[in-house]
Structure 1
Protein backbone atom coordinates (compact mmCIF):
# COMPACT_ATOMS: atom_id res chain seq x y z
CA UNK A 1 0.00 0.00 0.00
CA UNK A 2 1.39 3.42 -0.96
CA UNK A 3 2.17 6.14 1.56
CA UNK A 4 -0.63 8.21 0.03
CA UNK A 5 -3.24 5.47 0.63
CA UNK A 6 -1.95 4.68 4.13
CA UNK A 7 -2.13 8.39 5.00
CA UNK A 8 -5.70 8.66 3.66
CA UNK A 9 -6.83 5.61 5.65
CA UNK A 10 -5.19 6.95 8.82
CA UNK A 11 -6.96 10.31 8.51
CA UNK A 12 -10.32 8.63 7.81
CA UNK A 13 -9.95 6.29 10.79
CA UNK A 14 -9.05 9.21 13.07
CA UNK A 15 -12.13 11.15 11.95
CA UNK A 16 -14.44 8.17 12.57
CA UNK A 17 -13.02 7.70 16.05
CA UNK A 18 -13.47 11.36 16.92
CA UNK A 19 -17.02 11.48 15.61
CA UNK A 20 -17.91 8.51 17.82
CA UNK A 21 -16.17 9.97 20.89
CA UNK A 22 -18.68 11.64 23.26
CA UNK A 23 -17.58 14.81 24.98
CA UNK A 24 -19.11 17.50 27.13
CA UNK A 25 -17.17 20.26 25.39
CA UNK A 26 -19.35 22.73 23.48
CA UNK A 27 -16.62 23.95 21.11
CA UNK A 28 -19.12 25.12 18.49
CA UNK A 29 -20.85 27.33 21.08
CA UNK A 30 -17.65 29.09 22.15
CA UNK A 31 -17.80 32.88 21.66
CA UNK A 32 -14.33 33.68 20.35
CA UNK A 33 -14.95 37.43 20.63
CA UNK A 34 -16.10 37.68 24.27
CA UNK A 35 -12.94 39.57 25.27
CA UNK A 36 -11.20 36.56 26.84
CA UNK A 37 -8.23 34.66 25.44
CA UNK A 38 -9.21 31.86 23.05
CA UNK A 39 -7.17 29.31 21.14
CA UNK A 40 -8.13 27.28 18.09
CA UNK A 41 -5.93 24.31 17.16
CA UNK A 42 -6.24 22.43 13.87
CA UNK A 43 -4.51 19.32 12.59
CA UNK A 44 -5.00 18.42 8.98
CA UNK A 45 -4.03 16.00 6.28
CA UNK A 46 -3.14 17.74 3.02
CA UNK A 47 -2.47 15.46 0.04
CA UNK A 48 -0.86 17.84 -2.45
CA UNK A 49 0.49 17.03 -5.84
CA UNK A 50 3.53 19.02 -6.89
CA UNK A 51 4.07 20.74 -10.23
CA UNK A 52 7.48 22.35 -10.43
CA UNK A 53 10.16 23.89 -12.62
CA UNK A 54 13.41 24.01 -10.63
CA UNK A 55 16.76 25.41 -11.80
CA UNK A 56 19.97 23.48 -10.99
CA UNK A 57 23.59 24.56 -11.43
CA UNK A 58 25.91 22.38 -13.47
CA UNK A 59 29.56 21.73 -12.46
CA UNK A 60 30.73 23.69 -15.53
CA UNK A 61 28.89 26.80 -14.33
CA UNK A 62 25.86 26.38 -16.56
CA UNK A 63 22.28 25.74 -15.48
CA UNK A 64 19.35 23.57 -16.45
CA UNK A 65 15.67 23.57 -15.53
CA UNK A 66 14.07 20.31 -14.44
CA UNK A 67 10.31 20.24 -15.02
CA UNK A 68 8.01 17.81 -13.21
CA UNK A 69 5.73 15.41 -15.07
CA UNK A 70 2.24 16.56 -15.98
CA UNK A 71 0.49 14.38 -13.39
CA UNK A 72 -0.38 15.99 -10.05
CA UNK A 73 -0.77 12.55 -8.43
CA UNK A 74 2.66 12.89 -6.86
CA UNK A 75 4.36 10.39 -4.58
CA UNK A 76 3.92 12.00 -1.19
CA UNK A 77 6.08 9.97 1.20
CA UNK A 78 5.76 12.02 4.39
CA UNK A 79 3.80 14.93 5.78
CA UNK A 80 2.97 16.92 8.93
CA UNK A 81 0.54 19.85 9.10
CA UNK A 82 -1.09 21.92 11.83
CA UNK A 83 -2.16 25.50 12.53
CA UNK A 84 -3.14 27.52 15.58
CA UNK A 85 -4.92 30.80 16.24
CA UNK A 86 -4.74 32.72 19.52
CA UNK A 87 -7.06 35.68 19.86
CA UNK A 88 -8.46 38.17 22.36
CA UNK A 89 -11.37 40.18 21.10
CA UNK A 90 -10.79 41.25 17.51
CA UNK A 91 -6.97 40.88 17.65
CA UNK A 92 -4.96 37.70 17.42
CA UNK A 93 -2.03 35.71 16.05
CA UNK A 94 -2.15 32.97 13.42
CA UNK A 95 0.51 30.30 12.80
CA UNK A 96 0.62 27.47 10.27
CA UNK A 97 3.32 24.78 9.97
CA UNK A 98 3.68 22.30 7.09
CA UNK A 99 6.30 19.71 6.23
CA UNK A 100 6.18 17.39 3.22
CA UNK A 101 8.41 15.03 1.27
CA UNK A 102 7.98 13.81 -2.31
CA UNK A 103 9.99 10.85 -3.59
CA UNK A 104 10.81 9.26 -6.95
CA UNK A 105 9.01 11.77 -9.15
CA UNK A 106 9.13 11.78 -12.94
CA UNK A 107 10.53 14.81 -14.74
CA UNK A 108 12.52 16.00 -17.72
CA UNK A 109 15.16 18.60 -18.49
CA UNK A 110 13.32 21.43 -20.22
CA UNK A 111 16.06 24.07 -20.55
CA UNK A 112 19.87 24.03 -20.66
CA UNK A 113 21.81 27.31 -20.41
CA UNK A 114 18.77 29.29 -21.50
CA UNK A 115 17.94 27.04 -24.44
CA UNK A 116 14.47 25.49 -24.31
CA UNK A 117 14.30 21.82 -25.25
CA UNK A 118 11.30 19.91 -26.55
CA UNK A 119 9.96 16.77 -24.91
CA UNK A 120 11.05 14.70 -27.94
CA UNK A 121 14.67 15.06 -26.78
CA UNK A 122 13.96 12.38 -24.13
CA UNK A 123 16.00 14.03 -21.38
CA UNK A 124 14.01 12.25 -18.67
CA UNK A 125 14.89 12.56 -14.97
CA UNK A 126 13.94 11.16 -11.56
CA UNK A 127 13.76 13.65 -8.72
CA UNK A 128 12.59 14.19 -5.15
CA UNK A 129 12.00 17.15 -2.89
CA UNK A 130 11.36 17.88 0.76
CA UNK A 131 10.72 21.05 2.68
CA UNK A 132 9.03 22.97 5.42
CA UNK A 133 6.69 25.95 5.38
CA UNK A 134 5.90 28.31 8.27
CA UNK A 135 3.38 31.15 8.14
CA UNK A 136 3.16 33.59 11.06
CA UNK A 137 0.77 36.54 10.98
CA UNK A 138 -1.12 38.99 13.11
CA UNK A 139 -4.87 39.10 12.53
CA UNK A 140 -7.79 41.44 13.02
CA UNK A 141 -11.44 40.39 12.78
CA UNK A 142 -13.25 42.57 10.28
CA UNK A 143 -16.65 41.26 11.35
CA UNK A 144 -18.43 38.32 12.92
CA UNK A 145 -22.01 37.10 13.33
CA UNK A 146 -24.02 33.90 13.56
CA UNK A 147 -23.28 33.42 9.85
CA UNK A 148 -19.50 33.44 10.23
CA UNK A 149 -16.52 35.76 10.46
CA UNK A 150 -13.70 37.31 8.41
CA UNK A 151 -10.12 37.96 9.58
CA UNK A 152 -7.54 40.03 7.76
CA UNK A 153 -3.96 38.72 8.06
CA UNK A 154 -0.60 40.48 7.82
CA UNK A 155 2.62 38.58 8.38
CA UNK A 156 5.38 36.51 6.85
CA UNK A 157 5.83 33.10 5.24
CA UNK A 158 9.10 31.16 5.28
CA UNK A 159 9.90 28.24 2.98
CA UNK A 160 12.82 25.83 3.05
CA UNK A 161 13.00 23.45 0.11
CA UNK A 162 15.65 20.95 -0.99
CA UNK A 163 15.53 19.20 -4.35
CA UNK A 164 17.54 16.31 -5.80
CA UNK A 165 17.56 15.29 -9.45
CA UNK A 166 19.22 12.37 -11.22
CA UNK A 167 19.38 11.21 -14.83
CA UNK A 168 20.72 8.39 -16.94
CA UNK A 169 20.21 8.75 -20.67
CA UNK A 170 21.66 5.28 -21.29
CA UNK A 171 22.71 4.12 -24.72
CA UNK A 172 20.82 6.96 -26.40
CA UNK A 173 23.61 9.31 -25.34
CA UNK A 174 21.44 12.37 -25.90
CA UNK A 175 23.03 14.46 -23.16
CA UNK A 176 26.10 15.39 -25.19
CA UNK A 177 23.99 17.29 -27.71
CA UNK A 178 23.11 19.77 -24.99
CA UNK A 179 26.37 19.95 -23.03
CA UNK A 180 25.24 17.41 -20.41
CA UNK A 181 26.84 14.20 -19.25
CA UNK A 182 24.74 11.12 -20.04
CA UNK A 183 24.28 10.40 -16.32
CA UNK A 184 24.53 12.48 -13.19
CA UNK A 185 23.01 13.74 -9.98
CA UNK A 186 22.59 17.23 -8.55
CA UNK A 187 20.97 18.79 -5.51
CA UNK A 188 20.07 22.30 -4.46
CA UNK A 189 18.20 24.00 -1.65
CA UNK A 190 16.69 27.40 -1.01
CA UNK A 191 15.36 29.55 1.82
CA UNK A 192 12.57 31.97 0.89
CA UNK A 193 10.98 34.60 3.14
CA UNK A 194 8.04 36.70 1.96
CA UNK A 195 5.67 39.25 3.46
CA UNK A 196 2.05 38.17 2.99
CA UNK A 197 -1.36 39.77 3.37
CA UNK A 198 -4.62 37.90 3.20
CA UNK A 199 -8.10 37.13 4.46
CA UNK A 200 -9.58 34.01 6.05
CA UNK A 201 -12.71 32.94 7.83
CA UNK A 202 -15.91 30.94 7.48
CA UNK A 203 -19.41 31.65 6.23
CA UNK A 204 -22.70 29.79 6.25
CA UNK A 205 -25.66 30.58 3.99
CA UNK A 206 -27.46 27.44 5.20
CA UNK A 207 -30.43 27.24 7.59
CA UNK A 208 -28.42 24.64 9.51
CA UNK A 209 -25.68 26.83 10.99
CA UNK A 210 -23.53 23.75 11.70
CA UNK A 211 -22.69 23.55 7.97
CA UNK A 212 -20.15 26.17 6.90
CA UNK A 213 -17.74 27.17 4.14
CA UNK A 214 -14.13 27.76 5.28
CA UNK A 215 -11.98 30.02 3.10
CA UNK A 216 -8.45 31.44 2.99
CA UNK A 217 -6.49 33.59 0.56
CA UNK A 218 -3.15 35.35 0.78
CA UNK A 219 -0.60 36.89 -1.57
CA UNK A 220 2.89 38.19 -1.00
CA UNK A 221 6.43 38.76 -2.18
CA UNK A 222 9.93 39.26 -0.85
CA UNK A 223 12.62 36.70 -1.60
CA UNK A 224 10.29 35.34 -4.28
CA UNK A 225 8.73 37.38 -7.07
CA UNK A 226 5.30 36.22 -5.93
CA UNK A 227 3.70 33.69 -3.62
CA UNK A 228 0.01 33.03 -3.17
CA UNK A 229 -2.22 30.56 -1.41
CA UNK A 230 -5.94 29.84 -1.42
CA UNK A 231 -8.25 27.34 0.21
CA UNK A 232 -12.01 26.75 0.14
CA UNK A 233 -14.24 23.86 1.13
CA UNK A 234 -17.16 22.65 3.22
CA UNK A 235 -17.29 21.90 6.95
CA UNK A 236 -19.51 20.77 9.78
CA UNK A 237 -19.45 21.91 13.43
CA UNK A 238 -19.86 19.17 16.06
CA UNK A 239 -20.10 19.46 19.85
CA UNK A 240 -16.37 18.70 20.20
CA UNK A 241 -15.11 20.82 17.29
CA UNK A 242 -15.17 21.11 13.50
CA UNK A 243 -14.41 18.88 10.51
CA UNK A 244 -13.84 20.36 7.06
CA UNK A 245 -12.89 19.08 3.63
CA UNK A 246 -11.24 21.63 1.33
CA UNK A 247 -9.04 22.17 -1.71
CA UNK A 248 -5.77 24.03 -1.08
CA UNK A 249 -3.32 25.54 -3.55
CA UNK A 250 0.11 27.08 -2.79
CA UNK A 251 2.34 28.69 -5.41
CA UNK A 252 5.83 30.21 -5.62
CA UNK A 253 7.31 32.07 -8.59
CA UNK A 254 10.95 33.21 -8.98
CA UNK A 255 12.21 34.42 -12.35
CA UNK A 256 15.74 35.58 -11.54
CA UNK A 257 18.55 34.24 -13.73
CA UNK A 258 19.76 31.82 -11.02
CA UNK A 259 16.56 31.35 -9.00
CA UNK A 260 15.89 27.77 -7.88
CA UNK A 261 12.09 27.92 -7.57
CA UNK A 262 11.21 29.09 -11.04
CA UNK A 263 7.57 27.99 -10.80
CA UNK A 264 6.38 25.65 -8.05
CA UNK A 265 2.82 24.69 -7.16
CA UNK A 266 1.44 22.35 -4.53
CA UNK A 267 -2.29 21.64 -4.70
CA UNK A 268 -4.73 19.03 -3.53
CA UNK A 269 -7.46 18.10 -1.03
CA UNK A 270 -7.13 18.56 2.73
CA UNK A 271 -9.11 17.22 5.68
CA UNK A 272 -9.03 19.34 8.85
CA UNK A 273 -10.02 18.71 12.48
CA UNK A 274 -10.31 21.82 14.67
CA UNK A 275 -10.85 22.45 18.38
CA UNK A 276 -11.63 25.86 19.92
CA UNK A 277 -11.35 26.63 23.63
Structure 2
Protein backbone atom coordinates (compact mmCIF):
# COMPACT_ATOMS: atom_id res chain seq x y z
CA UNK A 1 0.00 0.00 0.00
CA UNK A 2 2.81 2.42 0.91
CA UNK A 3 4.62 1.61 -2.35
CA UNK A 4 1.45 2.29 -4.34
CA UNK A 5 0.94 5.67 -2.65
CA UNK A 6 4.60 6.58 -3.29
CA UNK A 7 4.29 5.73 -6.98
CA UNK A 8 1.18 7.85 -7.33
CA UNK A 9 2.88 10.81 -5.59
CA UNK A 10 5.97 10.63 -7.83
CA UNK A 11 3.81 10.42 -10.96
CA UNK A 12 1.86 13.50 -9.90
CA UNK A 13 5.04 15.49 -9.29
CA UNK A 14 6.38 14.52 -12.72
CA UNK A 15 3.13 15.51 -14.49
CA UNK A 16 3.01 18.85 -12.69
CA UNK A 17 6.68 19.55 -13.57
CA UNK A 18 6.48 18.81 -17.31
CA UNK A 19 4.92 22.16 -18.32
CA UNK A 20 7.54 24.03 -16.29
CA UNK A 21 10.42 22.28 -18.10
CA UNK A 22 8.75 22.86 -21.46
CA UNK A 23 8.13 26.57 -20.87
CA UNK A 24 11.54 27.40 -19.34
CA UNK A 25 14.35 27.92 -21.90
CA UNK A 26 17.59 26.05 -21.13
CA UNK A 27 20.33 28.03 -19.44
CA UNK A 28 23.11 28.74 -21.96
CA UNK A 29 26.61 28.87 -20.52
CA UNK A 30 28.87 31.43 -22.25
CA UNK A 31 31.64 28.82 -22.26
CA UNK A 32 29.57 26.63 -24.63
CA UNK A 33 29.28 29.33 -27.33
CA UNK A 34 31.82 30.01 -30.05
CA UNK A 35 33.41 33.45 -29.81
CA UNK A 36 35.33 34.98 -32.70
CA UNK A 37 37.97 37.68 -33.09
CA UNK A 38 39.46 39.33 -36.17
CA UNK A 39 42.69 41.37 -35.89
CA UNK A 40 44.04 43.51 -38.74
CA UNK A 41 47.45 44.84 -37.80
CA UNK A 42 50.54 46.66 -38.98
CA UNK A 43 53.92 45.14 -38.23
CA UNK A 44 56.97 47.22 -39.15
CA UNK A 45 59.78 44.67 -38.96
CA UNK A 46 63.39 45.08 -39.91
CA UNK A 47 64.46 41.99 -41.85
CA UNK A 48 67.99 40.60 -41.94
CA UNK A 49 69.68 37.26 -42.43
CA UNK A 50 71.74 35.11 -44.75
CA UNK A 51 70.69 33.35 -47.97
CA UNK A 52 72.59 30.57 -49.78
CA UNK A 53 72.13 30.62 -53.56
CA UNK A 54 73.11 27.83 -55.95
CA UNK A 55 75.22 28.96 -58.93
CA UNK A 56 75.21 27.55 -62.49
CA UNK A 57 78.78 26.19 -62.14
CA UNK A 58 77.80 24.02 -59.13
CA UNK A 59 79.11 26.69 -56.80
CA UNK A 60 77.27 28.64 -54.16
CA UNK A 61 76.92 32.20 -52.96
CA UNK A 62 76.12 33.27 -49.40
CA UNK A 63 74.49 36.69 -49.20
CA UNK A 64 74.30 38.46 -45.86
CA UNK A 65 71.78 41.23 -46.03
CA UNK A 66 69.81 43.62 -43.90
CA UNK A 67 68.39 45.03 -42.02
CA UNK A 68 66.05 46.16 -44.78
CA UNK A 69 64.88 49.73 -44.34
CA UNK A 70 61.14 49.23 -44.07
CA UNK A 71 60.02 52.60 -45.38
CA UNK A 72 62.57 52.73 -48.22
CA UNK A 73 62.47 49.11 -49.42
CA UNK A 74 58.92 47.89 -48.77
CA UNK A 75 56.80 47.45 -51.87
CA UNK A 76 53.67 45.87 -50.40
CA UNK A 77 52.44 44.24 -47.19
CA UNK A 78 49.26 42.64 -45.83
CA UNK A 79 48.68 41.26 -42.32
CA UNK A 80 45.67 39.64 -40.61
CA UNK A 81 45.00 37.42 -37.59
CA UNK A 82 41.89 35.48 -36.61
CA UNK A 83 40.74 33.39 -33.64
CA UNK A 84 37.80 31.20 -32.64
CA UNK A 85 37.29 30.16 -29.01
CA UNK A 86 34.87 27.88 -27.21
CA UNK A 87 35.40 27.62 -23.48
CA UNK A 88 38.99 26.66 -22.74
CA UNK A 89 39.71 25.63 -26.35
CA UNK A 90 40.80 27.92 -29.17
CA UNK A 91 42.07 27.86 -32.74
CA UNK A 92 43.96 30.73 -34.37
CA UNK A 93 45.52 31.77 -37.65
CA UNK A 94 47.94 34.44 -38.82
CA UNK A 95 48.79 35.52 -42.39
CA UNK A 96 51.48 37.95 -43.58
CA UNK A 97 52.75 38.99 -46.99
CA UNK A 98 55.90 41.12 -47.37
CA UNK A 99 57.63 42.30 -50.52
CA UNK A 100 60.93 44.18 -50.21
CA UNK A 101 62.85 45.74 -53.09
CA UNK A 102 66.59 45.59 -53.71
CA UNK A 103 68.95 46.01 -50.79
CA UNK A 104 72.74 45.96 -50.63
CA UNK A 105 74.37 42.71 -49.50
CA UNK A 106 77.78 41.24 -48.74
CA UNK A 107 78.33 38.18 -50.90
CA UNK A 108 80.76 35.29 -50.50
CA UNK A 109 81.07 32.95 -53.48
CA UNK A 110 82.66 29.54 -53.84
CA UNK A 111 82.66 27.44 -56.99
CA UNK A 112 84.60 26.14 -59.96
CA UNK A 113 86.04 27.72 -63.07
CA UNK A 114 86.02 31.48 -62.81
CA UNK A 115 84.71 31.19 -59.25
CA UNK A 116 87.00 28.41 -58.02
CA UNK A 117 88.36 30.62 -55.26
CA UNK A 118 86.33 31.84 -52.34
CA UNK A 119 85.72 35.52 -52.97
CA UNK A 120 83.96 38.33 -51.22
CA UNK A 121 82.07 40.99 -53.12
CA UNK A 122 79.04 43.24 -52.94
CA UNK A 123 75.65 42.79 -54.52
CA UNK A 124 71.94 43.38 -54.16
CA UNK A 125 69.20 41.11 -52.90
CA UNK A 126 65.42 41.28 -53.01
CA UNK A 127 63.02 39.44 -50.72
CA UNK A 128 59.41 38.34 -50.97
CA UNK A 129 57.76 36.23 -48.29
CA UNK A 130 54.43 34.71 -47.26
CA UNK A 131 53.96 33.59 -43.65
CA UNK A 132 50.96 31.50 -42.55
CA UNK A 133 50.49 30.14 -39.03
CA UNK A 134 47.76 27.76 -37.86
CA UNK A 135 47.44 26.59 -34.28
CA UNK A 136 45.26 25.52 -31.42
CA UNK A 137 45.34 26.15 -27.70
CA UNK A 138 43.91 25.10 -24.36
CA UNK A 139 43.66 27.27 -21.24
CA UNK A 140 45.79 25.76 -18.48
CA UNK A 141 45.80 28.70 -16.03
CA UNK A 142 42.77 30.88 -15.31
CA UNK A 143 43.22 33.29 -12.40
CA UNK A 144 41.67 36.64 -11.59
CA UNK A 145 44.46 38.55 -13.34
CA UNK A 146 46.40 35.89 -15.25
CA UNK A 147 45.38 33.70 -18.18
CA UNK A 148 47.73 31.18 -19.80
CA UNK A 149 47.13 28.94 -22.84
CA UNK A 150 49.31 26.07 -24.00
CA UNK A 151 49.50 26.13 -27.81
CA UNK A 152 50.65 23.90 -30.66
CA UNK A 153 50.65 24.52 -34.40
CA UNK A 154 52.42 24.72 -37.73
CA UNK A 155 54.17 27.67 -39.39
CA UNK A 156 54.69 27.98 -43.16
CA UNK A 157 57.13 30.42 -44.74
CA UNK A 158 57.30 30.76 -48.50
CA UNK A 159 60.36 32.72 -49.61
CA UNK A 160 61.50 34.06 -52.96
CA UNK A 161 64.79 35.90 -53.11
CA UNK A 162 67.11 37.12 -55.86
CA UNK A 163 70.78 38.04 -55.93
CA UNK A 164 72.63 40.29 -58.38
CA UNK A 165 76.44 40.49 -58.16
CA UNK A 166 79.17 42.27 -60.12
CA UNK A 167 82.74 42.65 -58.95
CA UNK A 168 86.25 43.53 -60.08
CA UNK A 169 88.68 40.85 -58.92
CA UNK A 170 91.27 38.30 -60.01
CA UNK A 171 89.70 34.85 -60.10
CA UNK A 172 90.59 31.47 -61.56
CA UNK A 173 93.50 32.74 -63.62
CA UNK A 174 91.35 35.11 -65.65
CA UNK A 175 93.77 37.94 -64.96
CA UNK A 176 93.39 41.35 -63.37
CA UNK A 177 90.28 43.26 -64.24
CA UNK A 178 88.16 40.14 -64.83
CA UNK A 179 84.63 41.13 -63.87
CA UNK A 180 82.32 38.15 -63.35
CA UNK A 181 78.64 39.02 -63.10
CA UNK A 182 75.72 36.77 -62.28
CA UNK A 183 72.08 36.76 -61.29
CA UNK A 184 70.47 34.09 -59.10
CA UNK A 185 66.83 33.72 -58.11
CA UNK A 186 65.50 30.97 -55.86
CA UNK A 187 62.47 30.09 -53.79
CA UNK A 188 61.93 27.86 -50.76
CA UNK A 189 59.00 26.43 -48.80
CA UNK A 190 59.59 26.06 -45.06
CA UNK A 191 57.26 24.05 -42.81
CA UNK A 192 57.89 24.08 -39.06
CA UNK A 193 55.85 22.74 -36.18
CA UNK A 194 55.86 24.70 -32.93
CA UNK A 195 54.75 24.56 -29.31
CA UNK A 196 54.47 27.42 -26.85
CA UNK A 197 52.36 29.54 -24.54
CA UNK A 198 50.30 32.71 -24.81
CA UNK A 199 48.16 34.72 -22.44
CA UNK A 200 47.68 37.98 -20.61
CA UNK A 201 48.32 39.66 -17.27
CA UNK A 202 45.74 42.26 -16.19
CA UNK A 203 47.15 45.49 -14.82
CA UNK A 204 43.85 46.84 -13.47
CA UNK A 205 41.02 45.30 -11.52
CA UNK A 206 38.54 45.73 -14.37
CA UNK A 207 40.96 44.09 -16.84
CA UNK A 208 40.89 46.97 -19.29
CA UNK A 209 44.65 47.48 -19.23
CA UNK A 210 46.66 44.30 -19.65
CA UNK A 211 49.96 42.88 -20.91
CA UNK A 212 49.59 40.24 -23.66
CA UNK A 213 52.45 37.79 -24.19
CA UNK A 214 53.35 35.05 -26.67
CA UNK A 215 56.27 32.60 -26.98
CA UNK A 216 56.84 29.55 -29.18
CA UNK A 217 59.73 27.34 -30.35
CA UNK A 218 59.78 24.81 -33.17
CA UNK A 219 61.58 22.85 -35.83
CA UNK A 220 60.95 21.12 -39.15
CA UNK A 221 62.36 22.29 -42.46
CA UNK A 222 64.30 24.78 -40.35
CA UNK A 223 66.75 23.47 -37.78
CA UNK A 224 65.19 25.88 -35.30
CA UNK A 225 62.57 28.62 -35.25
CA UNK A 226 61.19 30.74 -32.45
CA UNK A 227 58.87 33.67 -31.92
CA UNK A 228 58.13 36.06 -29.04
CA UNK A 229 55.86 39.06 -28.59
CA UNK A 230 54.63 41.29 -25.77
CA UNK A 231 53.34 44.81 -25.20
CA UNK A 232 50.47 46.78 -23.71
CA UNK A 233 46.75 46.58 -24.56
CA UNK A 234 43.49 48.31 -23.70
CA UNK A 235 40.12 46.53 -23.85
CA UNK A 236 36.90 48.26 -24.93
CA UNK A 237 33.36 47.08 -25.60
CA UNK A 238 33.98 46.39 -29.28
CA UNK A 239 37.48 44.92 -28.91
CA UNK A 240 41.09 45.65 -28.00
CA UNK A 241 43.85 47.99 -29.18
CA UNK A 242 47.40 46.67 -28.71
CA UNK A 243 50.90 48.09 -29.13
CA UNK A 244 53.57 45.40 -28.93
CA UNK A 245 56.97 44.22 -30.15
CA UNK A 246 57.33 41.00 -32.15
CA UNK A 247 60.40 38.90 -32.96
CA UNK A 248 60.43 35.93 -35.35
CA UNK A 249 63.48 33.94 -36.45
CA UNK A 250 64.32 30.97 -38.70
CA UNK A 251 67.66 29.11 -38.77
CA UNK A 252 68.53 26.61 -41.50
CA UNK A 253 71.61 24.65 -42.53
CA UNK A 254 73.27 22.79 -45.41
CA UNK A 255 72.21 23.94 -48.85
CA UNK A 256 68.93 25.50 -47.73
CA UNK A 257 68.17 28.89 -49.22
CA UNK A 258 67.35 30.37 -45.80
CA UNK A 259 70.42 30.06 -43.61
CA UNK A 260 69.06 32.61 -41.15
CA UNK A 261 66.17 35.04 -41.29
CA UNK A 262 65.00 37.41 -38.57
CA UNK A 263 61.97 39.71 -38.41
CA UNK A 264 61.71 42.17 -35.52
CA UNK A 265 59.78 45.36 -34.91
CA UNK A 266 56.74 47.12 -33.40
CA UNK A 267 53.14 46.02 -34.00
CA UNK A 268 49.95 48.07 -33.83
CA UNK A 269 46.73 46.06 -33.93
CA UNK A 270 42.97 46.37 -33.41
CA UNK A 271 40.99 43.27 -32.38
CA UNK A 272 37.25 43.11 -33.19
CA UNK A 273 35.28 40.54 -31.18
CA UNK A 274 31.88 39.10 -32.11
Into which bin does the TM-score normalised by the smaller protein fall?
Answer: 0.7 to 0.9
Q: Label 1:143 to 1:97 Cα distance change in 2 as closer, same or farther (>3 A).
A: same
1:44 pairs with 2:41: yes
* TM-score of the superposed pair, with normalisation by structure 1: 0.79
Aligned residue in 1 for 2:257 = 260
| Counterpart in the other structure of 1:166 | 164
- Alignment RMSD: 2.4
Structure 2 gaps of 5+ residues are 1-28
Q: Name the counterpart of 2:192.
A: 194
Equivalent in the alignment of 2:51: 54
Q: Note the alpha carbon deviations across 1:19-61, whole angstroms, 9 max, x for none.
A: xxxxxxxxxxxxx962211111111100111111000011101
Following the alignment from structure 2 to structure 1, what is the Cα–Cα distance between the partners of residues 155 and 202?
29
Instruction: After superposition, give the CA deviation of every residue in 1:77-112 in whole Å (9 maximum; x if it has no partner).
Output: 211111111111111211111111111211110353
Matches within 5 A, 1:1-277: 34-69=31-66, 71=67, 73-74=69-70, 75-112=73-110, 121=120, 123-169=121-167, 173-174=168-169, 176=171, 182-207=180-205, 209-256=207-254, 258-277=255-274
Tell me the distance in 2 between the aligned counterparts of 1:175 and 1:228: 41
Q: Give the C-alpha shift of residue 145 in structure 1.
A: 3.9
Tell me how far apart the structure 2 counterparts of residues 181 and 224 of structure 1 sit (CA, whole Å).
Answer: 35
**1:144-189 per-position Cα deviation (integer Å, ceiling 9, x unaligned):** 34424211111111110000111222xxx12736999632211010
- TM-score normalised to the size of structure 2? 0.80
Deviates more, 1:138-147 or 1:95-104: 138-147
Instruction: Specify the SS of the correspondent of 1:60.
Output: coil
Rg bigger for which structure? 2
- SS of alignment partner, residue 34 of structure 1: helix
Aligned pair in 2 of structure 1 residues 64, 175: CA closer, same or farther (>3 Å)? farther
Aligned pair count reads 237
